[in-house]
Structure 1
Amino acid sequence: MKKVYSARDIDDLHRGGGMGSIPAGAILTPSARDRMKELGVAKHNGNPTRGGTSDDGIDASVRASSPKADLERLFNSPAVHALKEQICEIGRRLWQRAYVDGNGGNLSIRLTEDVVLCTPTLVSKGFMKPEDLCLVDLDGNQLAGVKKRTSEILMHLQIMKAQPKARAVSHAHPPYATGFAVAGVQPPTCMIPEIEVFIGRVPIAPYETPGTIEMGRKVAELVNEHNTVLMENHGVVSWSNTIEDAYFKMEIVEAYCRTVIVTTQLGVQPKQFSPKHLKDLLDIKQTLGVPDPRIGLKECELCDNDGWRPGVTCAVPAKGGDSAKPEGDSEAESVVQAVTAEIMNRLKG
């Protein structure tokens, strides 16, 4: 009897890099066929392959277990070279925007079922060349490339295993978003439409040592419902179906965090749009197929920022355990009030 494959079966096989195990003549449910299409996987002569040479020019039949000559041919093919150039371009953008420094940050693209293209270690993302890039399997073993692969590829691979739609991953340290990650403060919601549609809530993954599989697992726990994650005391990671879109999400979250910080410095309570307006945005998001755990919630459950505070005031405990109001510089306070009043008057004008 022929085995019937559902969309869930396809996801399970995709996570483990086992799409090639679907036998010829297997029955695919409509949802399974739709999921394979979403993943960029085509079924040729009974053998599922990623992408297909007709779409992106990549030989999707190559696996990590393929002969070294086949892996080298894939690695040096024109189609993969184009992706290498794209990764180098994204790396330059990250560096030019000061989202990375030194040799920080890393990028990756899943080429076939279990073969991934990634950036090298100890190389500035602003000055990478196509020949610097590496090829690895889903366990992080290097398959091709002169330079050593990035130490943080294990996180990328955990994301790809947990989220079948994650064909590309971008990791960097943009300062404003990373500031939220270091402070352990989840960015508030319902302030700017773009982030609600393209990203949504941005969770914080607990800190783990960079380069370890434990760090990857902490992030991977969040990627089924979120395409962008803050990494506590570390940085930001985003995923998408293309490396450029993964980078766009990095730009969006950084611009948003910067705007929130600037807003809190104006001395007024930040304005939010209503839960009804957020629901409208979530409806748009749903049509785009972007995951968001808030889809389906009641309006009264949206735009809850009770856990967010724009700043913290510390008081020195008085003798006896009571809090005492800290002494301040009255002259400095007067200057601050005058400057704030002037800014507000100009904004009103």
Structure 2
Amino acid sequence: MEGKIDTDLGNIKFSVLDLVPVAQGATPLQSIHKSLELAQHAETLGFERFWISEHHNMESLVSSATPILIGHIAQGTKTIRVGSGGVMLPNHAPLIVAEQFGTLETLYPGRIDLGLGRAPGTDQLTAKALRRNRTENVHDFPNDIAELQTYFSKENKNAAVRAIPGEGLNVPLYLLGSSTFSAQLAGSKGLPYAFASHFAPTHLHEALRLYHYNFEPSAQCIAPYTIACVNVIAAETDEKAKHLETSLQQLALGIIRNTRKPLPPPVRSMDGLWHEVEKAQIQMMMYYSFVGSKKTIKAQLSDFIANTQVNEIMAVSHIFDHQDRLRSYEILSSLLKDE
């Protein structure tokens, strides 16, 4: 994987992160159908990859069985890379992950990515139900990654425990993070690094700095490679985009209040729905949200790329109306064609 940086939008890869959101009034099945339609749309528009993130015990998201959804998306598309953004490795035995993604790579060769995170993707009570009696310490995540890499290696063919399918397959690993820990780990392992700046902006620049500082070339990456996940809500006008953004703001309000519900429709104003402290919290959490017309989004993203020097932008778009969401990605993809 190359590590070349270019601040021209036409030379930056654009990708999609989908949490498979359930809009108010929709069913989980409808949400999964819309996710596939979005992936097919993204493929047509020229996006690099389509990732699905693992979340549990949230009626607003139906991405809990992440590998199954990845297989569904890969089956319904032809060329776009499909993967996890990410699999929360502490919830799973590395052997199971190697077998699952080895199976996916066998079915859809050359198109599967394995993004790995160390957060639970849920609340602590649900995490306990997922992990049963397992308790995590600071060494588990690096050790689990090393074990996973062993299962994918050709050298493991004489071991007592093997991943079949999976062994010897080229399933690229990506480390995901919202702090500096995973950044340093990704650098030292020579793996590409994706930062969750769409909800955790605070440590973005420090994490990128530490990733580059600690980077050691590997068989997968000869040079550093970074992805920044950001919120993107694009529309024909700034006013419409800001109106659509109120769905995301309401969703974030539910996270703060721990009253998570399906994605609500946009409202005329958030005044009266949030308090000033909540407003400030949400604005900080969603700091890297690019909202507006094509012209506005282009200017915002150009500045962001110049300041971060990332190789790839991964956009997540919490937009209530499915057609508006498809249109947002159309506008975003048009930036690639203008350069």
Larger Rg: 1
TM-score with structure 2 setting the length: 0.27
Higher helix share: 2
